[in-house]
Structure 1
């Protein structure tokens, strides 16, 4: 199909472009053209998404079978692009987030859980949840049943620029005793960016719209299995030392928050890693083995080096600095 990717250089966007090319799709991207050189085989359009006139000029009067929009900030930008593409595409897929649900998330929540308020005309990027909800409203008001709202859970895999798995791989690489956020059997839910990309493209093929929670099945992965698999894949000489969540809280260490295992105000949050994803799997979502996600992420890091973090991503020392790690390890 003829596909337009609004973005296409980072994380999910890059995964969408590469997956679409593997399928044989005709791919056009639109972005500022500052982060990465154009991918061979892709028609690259250049414009600043915040400049509606520039976007309109870049798009011209072209039409596409499907559009996938990866914008993560002010919803007004999504609204303007969605309006420009009204009547020129049969499908509009928007990369949203589970963050659009009102906190605290109920245990076992599905797509019907309460939502935050959002304004599609807003230029506010500070409130991530409200911005994503505003983006959803912007897409649905223009494209209706043709709009797919992919409410992603935690997104891992190659090209991750948030600093979860890349941070952990670099810490394990240093070796020695490594502080780990217990308990080891705490469940995790995540989606590999490439699995999300493939699912969104299949939905575009089939004309599937609506809102879906897109992440792995609950209960399949634990934090212990994830970190042990990382050691097996890399062969690093490191020993995981599991710390109770209460000790991490007492010592002011954020470890575990990168995976939503706890928060400063909530040591055992519900709803983070037990979402009901039956709708997405019924719509064709498939997920690859954890080992493949870890191995491919490590291969990418070795080939390209650490990615530049997103503007809204935590700094490298947010989760744990070495001095704090030594302090807690001494107590264990």
Structure 2
């Protein structure tokens, strides 16, 4: 069962992905994207992790002018258009590369720490028209009830000095610090950039380039065939968003000058665990069967199955059914689950063989067989 720590602990890994997509492929997908009415000058803080490259590729296809700011520690990406690269380190406060220039929009992708937002605001003061911040649904104080809206209470930071927190301190106490520090970062965004701020709160981000394996576990396992353990009765809600849908929507928000707070969770219909696994199977094919194992049994045996959150009896039950009505009204759209699964598997199967054999999250085939055996013995 997913816990708050399970939800959070792979965030830095996702951001640190070093496996680059083929942007010749990305360019072909974006060939028919219409140009925006007005080209924007967009500054992307980060941009080389999970969703950032898709965001940038879409912005270029729309005719925007893109500048990136990051540490420049990953292999260079062959963008489908000109991108200005500026280098610095927000951990050390080195934002000198941003000393000049003006931008219509700044998109802040990787920030967890409030001082990163403070420093960006001070460095860019008066030179950015609109600031978009990627936050998380983990900012909510109570994740137990479905239907969480953007107006729900936020988690409180209970430490000594939020501005003194570091990524090391967050990793050491992820469950208690990640959400509250994101909430503080949101508040700092408004302090630094005023009313022209957009806060986007995604849940599980999935699709090509996802290095966490949280969602990848399911199509990967189902493609292997055999008896697949499905948690609960199959009716628990699931929410995911393809990283490309998130990235492209961020650009459209920038184009429209849309401000406010939005839960970026998908899809736009109720998705259950059963619908997810059968949707994966429709893509993978093969002789797979599905056996439901009750929630209580899985909890007793500490079965760590990703994405899944029971709809009852968990302090995180609401994370599977967050309200996305406001985001959909603001233009968030979702590609079909089958498209996400097919593209994810195509990307995953292009990784080195040893990486494909690595189980970063979920359970091994041996552990799965053991749990199924124990459950049937009880039956």
Q: By how many angstroms is 1:218 displaced?
A: 6.3
Once the 2 structures are TM-superposed, how far is the Cα of residue 44 of structure 1 from its aligned partner? 1.9
After the TM superposition, which residues 241-260 of structure 1 pair with which residues of structure 2 at under 5 Å, given as runs? 241-255=291-305, 258-260=306-308
Structure 1 counterpart of 2:229: 179
Distance in 2 of aligned mates of 1:307 and 1:84: 43
TM-score (norm 2): 0.78
Tell me how far 1:171 sits from its aligned partner. Answer: 2.4
5 Å matches for 1:152-191? Answer: 152-191=202-241
C-alpha RMSD of matched pairs (Å): 2.5
CA distance in 2, matches of 1:226, 1:245: 17
Map 1:272-291 → 2, pairs under 5 A: 272-291=319-338
- Matches of 2:123 and 2:99 in 1, distance apart? 10
> Does the alignment pair 1:123 with 2:165?
yes
Question: C-alpha displacement at 1:12, in angstroms?
Answer: 2.1
Distance 1:320 1:79, change over 3 A: same
CA spacing shift, 1:304–1:30, aligned 2, 3 Å:
farther
- TM score, norm. by length of structure 1: 0.88
Taking structure 1 as reference, are residues 268 and 210 closer, same or farther at Cα in structure 2, changes over 3 Å only? closer
Relative to 1, partners in 2 of residues 1:230 and 1:19: Cα closer, same or farther, differing over 3 Å? same
Q: 1:305 to 1:288 in 2, by over 3 A?
A: farther
Task: Report deviation, 1:150.
Answer: 0.2
> Which stretch has the larger CA shift, 266-275 or 29-38?
266-275
Q: 1:269 to 1:6 in 2, by over 3 A?
A: closer
Of 108, 114, 132, the match for 2:153: 114
**Structure 1 counterpart of 2:183, from 133, 154, 170:** 133
Unaligned 5+ runs, structure 1: 309-314
- Equivalent residue number for residue 364 of structure 2: 321
Tell me if structure 1 keeps the 8 A contact 2:268–2:334.
no
Q: 1:226 to 1:245 in 2, by over 3 A?
A: same
Question: In the alignment, is the contact (CA less than 8 A) between 1:106 and 1:270 conserved in 2?
Answer: yes
Runs of 4+ in 1 over 6 A off after TM superposition: none
Extract unaligned runs of 5+ from structure 2: 1-39, 171-176
SS in 2 for 1:171: helix
The answer for the alignment partner of 1:312 in structure 2 is: none
Give the SS at the match of 1:188.
coil
SS at 2:370 equivalent = helix
* Secondary structure at the counterpart of residue 91 of structure 1: strand
DSSP 3-state at the match of 1:19: helix
Alpha-carbon distance, 1:78 to partner: 2.3
Once the two structures are superposed, the pairs formed by residues 1-332 of structure 1 within 5 Å of their partners are 1-40=40-79, 41=81, 42-53=83-94, 55-56=95-96, 58-118=97-157, 121-125=163-167, 126=170, 127-217=177-267, 219-255=269-305, 258-262=306-310, 266-267=313-314, 269-305=316-352, 316=359, 318-330=361-373, 331-332=375-376
Give deviations 1:17-54, integer Å, cap 9, x for gaps: 1221222221111112222313333222222221223x
Q: Is the 8 A contact 1:149 1:211 kept in 2?
A: yes
Tell me, yes or no, if the aligned pair for 2:134 and 2:200 is still in contact at 8 Å: yes
Against the structure 1 CA distance between its residues 73 and 115, is the aligned structure 2 distance closer, same or farther, given a 3 Å change threshold? same
